[in-house]
Structure 1
Amino acid sequence: MGDVVKVNLFAEGEFVDVTGTSKGKGFQGVVKRHNFAGVMQATHGQHNRLRAPGSIGAGSDPSRVFKGMRMAGRMGGDKVTVQNLQVLKVDEEQNLLVVKGAIPGAKNSYVIIRKWN
């Protein structure tokens, strides 16, 4: 049916790349998604456009919005690879691999670990 992959392929102290699916955050605005500053100041009067994106392009000349314009939308849930993470410990009895650093994805999610050469 397939091969059993054990952690004895890895050695302590070597570096690996870890690939996984990042946590999905749903529909987010431009401030959270693209680190925009917002349009207006929050004090000195009532405003309703504090976290708006601002201008998205010229009106009559291109008559369209260019591809790649940073706007609000779905955030997260992307394939992410974190490179050069160090293997701290290899536990062959429990088939566990301890890696130093941030691993993409939610708890108990699947990741792909590749040796770094």
Structure 2
Amino acid sequence: MNRLQYFRKRLNMTTWMGAVLLTLFQAGNVLAMTVPATGSFAYDLYDIGVNQILLGPVGFTGGVACMCVAAILAIRQMILPAAGVVLGGAFLLRANTVVETIGALIS
């Protein structure tokens, strides 16, 4: 490859990287998730999925089970899968704070 082709290739790659960075730094619309209106079909789904399952005994039991599985994986020297399971279990155990932060502004 001669010098001109190399220069064109580098210029093309630099242009694409600049375009990607420019789109990443652009300000977007601010979104927030709110609880659906009471009595609507969406609220029924939200109530069952979030309040009764995720924040209820099913979510807590799933979080405790994940921590037990992570302990077993760590004992077996499977550290990377254990770290992933710990993160999932922590999400389930602290689901109430996660649900509260979903309503925070996301930019």
> TM-score, length-normalised on structure 1?
0.20
Higher strand proportion = 1
Higher helix proportion = 2
Ranked by relative contact order (alpha carbons within 8 Å, sequence separation 6 or more), the top structure is 1
